[in-house]
Structure 1
């Protein structure tokens, strides 16, 4: 299991180098303070949900379809959110003050590199809220704004009845999921046909996500 301190040590320079940048914005300063608290052990490491095999998903998996509500309040099918774009998906909840800020910083760093990835197909980032009682469209908009998300980074929340089913399908494991505070910090990459093709380790490196997105986008 990846600990917070181990994750910090393997976080890429694109995330950690900003800790010494002059005059960060208030939002950036808040994020950096939270990251520093994690590094100092001020927050205990969550027991991440168990997951199945890491790496390439063979054969690829198509998740059962479900309705989600995105940051604009629009109701959208999961298949539509994934179709025609290569997608990196993460699960978060907007009220999280421990590991989720690192997940947001991770996707922010990936977002900054997407434009430089040679690709035949467009790429997308998707943050899936797993606390439907709190992850409202306005909360999702605030989450995206916090990390200066572009139009290629969206967020959406499934119905309460679909959350655990989606989490289990993403993990590829039959082990108990635990509550949302113990949610996985994996990243899941889908091809442009909405097929799950790769499961990362917890809090993967930016380079690994970009390599997989690039490979899928060039096919």
Structure 2
């Protein structure tokens, strides 16, 4: 199976799953929508797909960024999340915004989400230069997941990780949390609004 065919299958599956999420589920989701006041994450060091260690805040500054949490060993929801970002990437290539758009997949399995695994994961979704993946250090996983979700503590099992998308403005401030499995159009609309 070619990468393009696999990607089309994943996109179609992701669209079907996202369409199946009812309005009732969206309405019952606790921490979604605009984040008021905006939140700055605790700045932690991350390792990206090239093996470079950088501050997370550096990746979030000067761009409008959509963030998702994944782990490369996941075979359930993470491929759907990758397909979602693939579709967002395709649409946002045509966007004309004041601030560049970045997609950032944050690996929450520091022992499995090594740079080579992150590179393979990105390649499986034809990630372009505006889509990066990073891994958190073991000591920072729980805190960063909790801050993203707006909770005091994350789910204890990484398999129960969020399928929300988190959007940051060019000042590295968290401005919006989606419901689980957001629609592509919804993420693109938020990125476009933050990018003006």
**TM-score normalised by length of structure 2:** 0.87
Which of structure 1's runs of 4+ aligned residues deviate more than 4 A?
33-36
The structure having more radius of gyration, on CA atoms, is: 1
State the aligned residue count: 184
Aligned ranges 1:178-189 → 2 under 5 Å: 178-189=156-167
Structure 2 unmatched runs, 5+: 18-28
Where does residue 5 of structure 2 map in the other structure?
28
Match of 1:84, SS? coil
Deviation string 1:36-89 (CA, Å, 9 cap, x unpaired) is 6xx79xxxxxxxxxx752100000000000000000000010110101000000
Deviations 1:72-117, CA, capped at 9 Å, x for gaps: 0000101101010000000000000011000000000000011222
Aligned residues: CA RMSD = 2.2
Q: Distance in 2 between matches of 1:217 and 1:187?
A: 16
CA shift, 1:198, in A, is 0.1
Mapping of residues 1-219 of structure 1, within 5 Å: 25-26=2-3, 28-29=5-6, 32=9, 52-174=30-152, 176-218=154-196
Residues 175-206 of structure 1: per-residue CA shift (max 9 Å, x gap): 55120000000000000000000000001000
CA distance in 2, matches of 1:30, 1:56: 31
Is the contact made by 2:11 and 2:83 (CA closer than 8 Å) also made in structure 1? no
Structure 1 residue runs without a partner (length 5+): 1-23, 41-50
Q: Give me the whole-angstrom Cα distance separating, in 2, the residues matched to 1:175 and 1:65.
A: 17
